[in-house]
Structure 1
């Protein structure tokens, strides 16, 4: 393998786009800049990275495209792509190919050699690993000063109330004035958007398209309930699911982390690769369990995966807990997991409302809301504000404040 990275450029006639293959050599690099030219006469330019996620930040102006690549591991390959698309094509109403005239102009640039600049050896210890394990975060408020604190909400099996808790936690953090991203990482069985009253067919862009390299991350962000809350839903189509590159999830989370205080990830239930990818990008795990043997057994596997990945176990949320006649007591659960129970949510009517308004907004005086806010306070390091807005006002805001950005 060569020591320096190489660039290979080719014209993809079938798709009507130019590809620049960036392949690294034997040493890790950082701060890579790749420059290429495009014909200024074309109607527009769209540049992105097919592989490598969102880490390559692409800009195009005055006939020049610049990709900025933060890091390259030894032997890593990234495909940098650009094409010309009309507005109709971008919105999905036409085939995603440039016009014949634009395609001819783009093809004429195949002989122009792209330029590589800014490659610097990455500083590393004498025996550095390509993918060092993330360090655990014990103090969320300190981490938030640098970037978003990332919280994975997990469960060993479906039906524990994981998604409902994730939504309420995200809303509670937003209500406390924290900029919060709520992400549906359950890409195969996504339902977070429907739980929030967002109709899936209205979503032009989701996490599916971002992980497939077909859309910029900001296109998959939607506003809901509070100006501090943003939602990144997953799609429902099988086609979109099959096109995803799940390994890019960490890049997407890091991208959103630059402009948020907290990212709450509704992870896939179970013990699988998708869960591992979510945990690997997270600082903390909150485990949502029901006090029954199946939930306890499967939940222990999720906790063990988090510990292997060096993710801090923030605690356990016991959902649908029978306060008078529990199957397992709080102390038994804590002894079994070796982790604290940080919330106990009783089985309350109306938690899943027909109007899709989360309990922390619809029933702020409920036990559910109080317990969720307790967890939010642990994360934010602050007390939740007293209710200064009437219930009717908050409910009206929630009902009419869900929209695409």
Structure 2
């Protein structure tokens, strides 16, 4: 049975595309037929992260009726299948997001998991991925504005009949964290299913156009993303003893969360 997840956020720059790529890569490594789709057609970045920016056919052409879905599917790391959107504005203008349902209907016949990178904010293009997914996962940064925008996205998702599974706190730091995990859960009314720390290796991996879980598998962010992916796929995550520096960071981060929950 296919399960479809939409990764969404109330504002841009939260890291949802990076999470989509890395979650899909890990789930595919379990032997699950996994597709990741860039439905952020106006501000597409998935192709750039994976070195697919020059491919001949993208989701833009499919939604414009110029090519079948099969021609826009590319092989990614660990066997994940990638359906990128193009980076040209002309392709975006020609694409009709109303055909996204038809594209999904065809893709789900070939996979176990479909993970959709949704457009940030509230727009006509962004409503469809929220409505057609089995589960929506919100990506929140440790700042109040991100949480407020995520709440708007949650409310919209529920208004159109969608369901929010939970939230991922991304780019978590010990300094200047305005909101705790407890506060996020209280305001959004959903569980925080994962906490991904700020990690410079995310940018380093992006420069190599390789998912961080492949390029730097033992980094703090990779380990936390892998835990979330295992949870989504229903797998047991093999705990690996972290390096000393990472261990100290995670220990301190865990203590700060516990304190936040007690407040």
State the match for 2:64 in structure 1. 212
Q: Which runs of 4+ in 1 moved over 3 A?
A: 384-387
Q: What CA deviation, in whole Å up to 9, does each residue of 1:167-186 have, x standing for no partner?
A: 11111111111111110001
- The structure whose residues are more often strand, as a share, is 1
Relative CO higher for 1 or 2, CA cutoff 8 Å, sep ≥ 6?
2
Q: Normalising by structure 2, report the TM-score.
A: 0.86
Q: Normalising by structure 1, report the TM-score.
A: 0.57
Q: What CA deviation, in whole Å up to 9, does each residue of 1:186-222 have, x standing for no partner?
A: 1111111101122x2x211010110111101000011
Q: 2:234 aligns with which of 341, 364, 381?
A: 381
- The alpha-carbon deviation at position 385 of structure 1 amounts to 6.2
State the match for 2:55 in structure 1. 203
Cα RMSD (Å): 1.6
- The alpha-carbon deviation at position 150 of structure 1 amounts to 0.8
Q: Does 2:21 match 1:167?
A: yes
- The alpha-carbon deviation at position 312 of structure 1 amounts to 2.3
Runs of 5+ consecutive residues of structure 2 not aligned to the other structure = 241-263
1:386/1:217 CA distance change after superposition, 3 Å:
farther
Tell me the distance in 2 between the aligned counterparts of 1:342 and 1:367. 16
Please identify the structure whose Cα radius of gyration is greater: 1
Tell me the distance in 2 between the aligned counterparts of 1:356 and 1:214. 28
Q: What CA deviation, in whole Å up to 9, does each residue of 1:33-56 have, x standing for no partner?
A: xxxxxxxxxxxxxxxxxxxxxxxx
Tell me the distance in 2 between the aligned counterparts of 1:172 and 1:311. 25
Tell me the distance in 1 between the aligned counterparts of 2:19 and 2:100. 22
Q: What CA deviation, in whole Å up to 9, does each residue of 1:301-345 have, x standing for no partner?
A: 111111122322111111111136521111111101110011111
Q: Is the 1:206–1:232 contact (alpha carbons within 8 Å) kept by the matching residues of 2?
A: yes
Q: 2:214 aligns with which of 361, 366, 377?
A: 361
Runs of 5+ consecutive residues of structure 1 not aligned to the other structure = 1-144, 388-405
The count of corresponding residues between Structure 1 and Structure 2 is 238
Tell me the distance in 1 between the aligned counterparts of 2:168 and 2:74. 27
Q: Is the 1:250–1:280 contact (alpha carbons within 8 Å) kept by the matching residues of 2?
A: no
